[in-house]
């Protein structure tokens, strides 16, 4: 099993004491990276929920390195991360959102302060609590409550370990923990604006804070161990104010010697202030929203963590980027909120993830009109491609969206579709179809051909690439499709190749909603809303009309067993399986299907289904989904009985694909959720870990209003990523060999029938 694409930016990372390693909180694990190479060395895996804090213990040395971690599973763990080895677990029984550990030189006991979430609190509106735990107690007591708030807040510890604090609305609450046995003394600093971030000076009693207006405030000790609050907007006696930022401050930190203060905002702007004089210097813009900024024990090394899932290692004081640890970037915001509809108002135009099954490389549409190439097998970033150069500041009245991306079978060609819309009118705009070729030396794609308005003013609803030749098809809401081929001039380099239109077709001027090539590229299946058609792509001729569904078909896929899988969306969604030997419907389920994955030389196929929110609420007591919102169903092609079922999270907006792994004889199944987190696993594994037999009819009844009757049972994993079924060996011949001669015979028998179905078309 391979996991990847996880969010590296949920909490602040930590450098090892020797500054040679960087520890990142990645979902339920802590990933340890080499600072020198930017590659992952190892991971700390035992938490059962997202890790919220990682703290390197000051007692670590060159031979042994310790760290503390906390998680939403309610547990604090201590590790020897150089091994790696889990040493001990402390259970608070409450979700922990933040953790600080008091150094041994400050407290001779092992004291932890945590920010937890407790819904059993007496105060019904105060669910966040700051609690103190003495980890030397066995068993661990419930802890002392220092403060209650509306929600858990991150805790900041001073470098000396004497103070810690939290910011809450317009206040900062600070506790002095120097006293060993007594409860820490609290001081509250008040401000007139919402405080967004704060930091302690490394060796003096000085505190800096940033507010929502962009101001940076400096508080100094008044001589009796306390700070003085800001009383009014013009109060300059209580603290020093630095003004430059025009947006809220998101990162703030002192240099290791305390002479400089670094402040930054979400736009990526960085400023360094001289603490003594207040002079400022603008630093190179990072270019991504800033979340955290930390220093290492090496004064020449720091790290900035950005909201696009990138961690930059910086050379100080120049802020030069030495290297970047890059995860999969989050989806573009428009993917969730900016869904375009055409005249029929039921065709979604966003298909923003594509996976090359032969190499395991995936293309993700991300923010700023880019496509990120990512190796799923090695969980490593490859490169980024800038699809267009539109900047929102250039014209606020225009919205630009990359609506589709597709990779060829061998990863040598990529196609993208983009649309430019007026902010007030999403139904009309300029559409561009682009073809890209892979350049091995730079490990990225180079633009080959740009075609503007390929379907007149209609939007492109999908793109499919032929797996056997340089051919592609684009489909549109206007009722036509176009077949594109690459020019065959042998004197041209791949970068100079040109894509031209090979043919244009339509079926009764009905909007084309789905397209897919057969495994050998000899057939093209198109869905004209509810009607499934088969075409000869080279001759651009209609071969057969397979059948008609009850709702618009949004997904099509050929299997190696001679079946065509169709997924219909709308008020009556269906998964339907069509037998290409008889052109009859084999079976169907009323399911909401998000994605289909098929194998070229096997009858097995998998589908990703999701449960609508209303149904999920109604069926929440059935415990079928166990808190999940979707499922992956694996079929062997022999009938409607799924041979394995896995429940998953964030299914809607997800992607499913088989991926070939050179180390294994069987392909892996890749599931990418809507947050771009993914898992690859062997769907045919014979592992039997914590299995339970569940009648597949009961399961399907929970997600379908219409079920198939069968007394057979399927195995369902209680763990979302583990398969509990050992697939049987079925040696079906490839689809092209199975159906080629059959197609030829059918061509002669149905001349009259085809004449009635003849579409409007022309070739070029």
**Residue 685 and residue 566 in one domain:** yes
Report the distance separating Cα 438 and Cα 732, nearest Å: 34
Instruction: Report whether pLDDT(47) > 60.
Output: yes
Neighbours of 42 (CB within 10 A): 14
**Residue 587 and residue 656 in one domain:** yes
Domain that includes residue 406, residue range: 330-521+530-544
Paired strand residues for 184: none
Strands 644-648 and 714-717: parallel
**Contact in structure between 414 and 407 (CB atoms under 8 Å):** yes
> E strand or H helix at 172, and its extent?
strand 171-176
User: 379 vs 382, 391, 452, 679, 680, CA distance in Å?
Assistant: 10, 30, 35, 10, 11
> E strand or H helix at 735, and its extent?
helix 735-749
Predicted confidence (pLDDT) per residue in 443-488, tens digit = 899 999 999 999 887 888 899 999 999 999 999 888 899 999 998 6
**Residue 358 and residue 456 in one domain:** yes
**Residue 539 and residue 575 in one domain:** no
Domain tally, the chain: 3
In a domain, 375, yes or no: yes
Q: What is the DSSP letter of 734?
A: P
Which letter, b or e, does each residue of 197-223 get, where b requires 16 or more Cβ atoms within 10 Å of its Cβ? bbbbbbeebbbbbbbeebbbbbbeeee
Residue with tokens 């979430």: 117
Phi, psi of 404 (to 5 degrees): -160, 150
The dihedral over CA atoms of 636, 638, 643, 645, expressed in degrees to the nearest 10, equals 80
In a domain, 701, yes or no: yes
DSSP string, 654-686: -EEEEE--TT-SSPEEEEE-TTS-EEEE-TT--
In a domain, 754, yes or no: no
Instruction: Report whether pLDDT(742) > 80.
Output: no
State which of 705, 721, 756 marks the end of a domain.
705
Structure tokens at 205: 């009693």
**Residue 568 and residue 540 in one domain:** no
Which letter, b or e, does each residue of 740-754 get, where b requires 16 or more Cβ atoms within 10 Å of its Cβ? eeebeebeeebeeeb
CATH no. for residue 204? Answer: 2.130.10.10
In a domain, 677, yes or no: yes
In a domain, 604, yes or no: yes
**Residue 512 and residue 582 in one domain:** no
Q: Under 8 Å CB-to-CB from 169, ≥6 apart: which residues?
A: 194, 195
Distance of CA 14 to the CA centre of its chain: 23
**Residue 407 and residue 507 in one domain:** yes
Report the distance separating Cα 287 and Cα 554, nearest Å: 37
Among the residue ranges 21-30, 79-88, 682-691, 737-746, the one predicted with the least confidence is 737-746
Predicted confidence (pLDDT) per residue in 607-634, tens digit = 998 877 655 444 443 455 555 678 899 9
Predicted confidence (pLDDT) per residue in 481-529, tens digit = 999 999 865 555 656 678 999 999 999 989 899 999 999 999 999 999 9
Q: What confidence score (pLDDT) does residue 689 get? A: 31
**Residue 566 and residue 638 in one domain:** yes
**Residue 266 and residue 334 in one domain:** no
Higher pLDDT, 569 or 89: 89
Distance of CA 546 to the CA centre of its chain: 37
State which of 679, 705, 731 marks the end of a domain.
705
In a domain, 263, yes or no: yes
Q: What is the pTM of this model?
A: 0.78
**Contact in structure between 667 and 659 (CB atoms under 8 Å):** yes
Predicted confidence (pLDDT) per residue in 521-555, tens digit = 999 999 999 999 999 999 999 999 998 988 899 99
Residue with tokens 């990120």: 372
In a domain, 336, yes or no: yes
Predicted confidence (pLDDT) per residue in 120-176, tens digit = 765 667 789 999 999 988 888 888 889 998 899 999 999 988 899 999 999 999 998
Neighbours of 343 (CB within 10 A): 12
In a domain, 323, yes or no: no
**Contact in structure between 24 and 294 (CB atoms under 8 Å):** no
**Residue 540 and residue 554 in one domain:** no
Q: What does the mean pLDDT of the chain come to? A: 80
**Residue 555 and residue 540 in one domain:** no
Q: Under 8 Å CB-to-CB from 566, ≥6 apart: which residues?
A: 514, 527, 532, 549, 553, 555, 556, 574, 575, 576, 577, 578
**Residue 459 and residue 607 in one domain:** no
DSSP string, 90-153: EE-SS-EEEEEE--TTT-SS-EEEEEEE-TT-SSTT--EEEEEEETTSSSPP--EEEEEESS--
């Amino acid at each position: 099993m391979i996991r990847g694409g996880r969010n590296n930016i949920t909490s602040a990372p930590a450098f090892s004491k020797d500054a040679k390693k960087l520890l990142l909180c990645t979902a339920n694990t802590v990933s340890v990276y080499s600072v020198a190479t930017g590659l992952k060395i190892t991971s700390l895996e035992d938490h059962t929920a997202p890790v919220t804090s990682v703290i390197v213990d000051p007692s670590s040395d060159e031979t042994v390195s310790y760290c503390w971690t906390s998680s939403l599973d309610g547990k604090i763990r201590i590790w020897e991360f150089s091994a790696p080895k889990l040493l001990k677990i402390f259970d608070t029984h409450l979700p922990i959102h933040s953790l600080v550990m008091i150094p041994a030189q400050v407290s001779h006991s092992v004291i932890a302060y945590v920010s937890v979430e407790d819904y059993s609190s007496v105060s019904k509106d105060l669910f966040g609590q700051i609690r103190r735990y003495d980890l030397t107690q066995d068993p661990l007591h419930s802890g002392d409550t220092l403060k209650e708030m509306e929600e858990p807040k991150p805790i900041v510890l001073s470098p000396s370990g004497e103070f810690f604090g939290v910011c809450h609305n317009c206040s900062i609450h600070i506790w002095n923990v120097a006293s060993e046995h007594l409860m820490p003394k609290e001081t509250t600093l008040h401000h007139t604006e919402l405080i967004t971030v704060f930091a302690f000076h490394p060796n003096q009693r000085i505190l800096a804070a940033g507010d929502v207006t962009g101001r940076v405030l400096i508080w100094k000790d008044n001589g009796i161990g306390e700070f003085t609050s800001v009383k009014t907007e013009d109060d300059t006696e209580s603290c020093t104010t630095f003004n430059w930022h025009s947006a809220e401050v998101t990162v703030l930190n002192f240099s290791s010697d305390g002479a400089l203060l670094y402040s930054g905002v979400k736009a990526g702007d960085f400023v360094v202030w001289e603490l003594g004089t207040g002079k400022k210097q603008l630093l190179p813009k990072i270019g991504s929203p800033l979340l955290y900024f930390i220093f290492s024990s090496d004064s020449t090394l720091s790290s900035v963590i950005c909201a696009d899932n990138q961690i930059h290692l910086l050379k100080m004081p120049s802020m030069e980027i030495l290297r970047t640890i890059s995860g999969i970037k989050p989806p573009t915001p428009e993917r969730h909120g900016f869904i375009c509809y055409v005249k029929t108002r039921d065709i979604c135009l966003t298909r923003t993830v594509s996976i090359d099954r032969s190499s395991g490389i995936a293309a993700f549409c991300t923010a700023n009109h880019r496509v990120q190439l990512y190796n799923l097998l090695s969980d490593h970033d490859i490169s980024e491609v800038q699809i267009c150069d539109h900047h929102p500041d250039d014209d606020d009245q225009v919205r630009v969206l990359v609506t589709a991306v597709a990779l060829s079978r061998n990863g040598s060609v990529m196609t993208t579709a983009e649309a430019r819309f007026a902010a007030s009118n999403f139904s009309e705009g300029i559409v561009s179809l682009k073809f890209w070729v892979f350049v091995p030396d730079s490990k990225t794609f180079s633009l080959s051909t740009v075609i503007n308005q390929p379907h007149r003013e209609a939007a492109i609803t999908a793109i499919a690439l032929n797996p056997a030749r340089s051919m592609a098809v684009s489909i549109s809401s206007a009722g036509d499709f176009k077949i594109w081929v690459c020019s065959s001039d042998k004197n041209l380099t791949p970068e100079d190749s040109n894509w031209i239109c090979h043919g244009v077709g339509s079926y009764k001027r009905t909007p084309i909603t789905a397209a897919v090539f057969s495994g050998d590229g000899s057939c093209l299946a198109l869905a004209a809303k509810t009607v499934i058609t088969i075409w000869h792509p080279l001759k651009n001729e209609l071969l057969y009309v397979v059948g008609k569904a009850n709702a618009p078909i949004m997904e099509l896929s050929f299997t190696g067993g001679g079946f065509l899988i169709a997924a219909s969306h709308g008020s009556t969604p269906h998964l339907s399986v069509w037998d290409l030997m008889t052109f009859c419907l084999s079976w169907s389920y009323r399911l909401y299907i998000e994605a289909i994955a098929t194998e070229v030389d096997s009858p097995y196929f998998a589908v990703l289904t999701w449960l609508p929110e209303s149904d999920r609420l109604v069926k929440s007591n059935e415990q079928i989904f166990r808190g999940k919102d979707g499922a992956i169903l694996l079929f062997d092609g022999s009938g409607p009985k799924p041979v394995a079922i896995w429940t998953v999270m964030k299914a809607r907006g997800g992607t499913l694909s088989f991926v070939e792994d050179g180390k294994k004889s069987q392909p892996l199944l890749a599931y990418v959720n809507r947050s771009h987190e993914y898992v690859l696993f062997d769907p045919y594994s014979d592992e039997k870990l914590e299995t339970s037999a569940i009648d597949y009819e009961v399961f399907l009844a929970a997600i379908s209003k219409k079920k198939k009757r069968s007394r057979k049972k399927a195995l369902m994993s209680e763990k979302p990523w583990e398969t509990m079924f050992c697939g049987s060996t079925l040696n079906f011949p490839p689809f092209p060999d199975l159906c080629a001669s059959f197609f030829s015979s059918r061509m002669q028998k149905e001349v009259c029938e085809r004449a009635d179905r003849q579409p409007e078309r022309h070739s070029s």
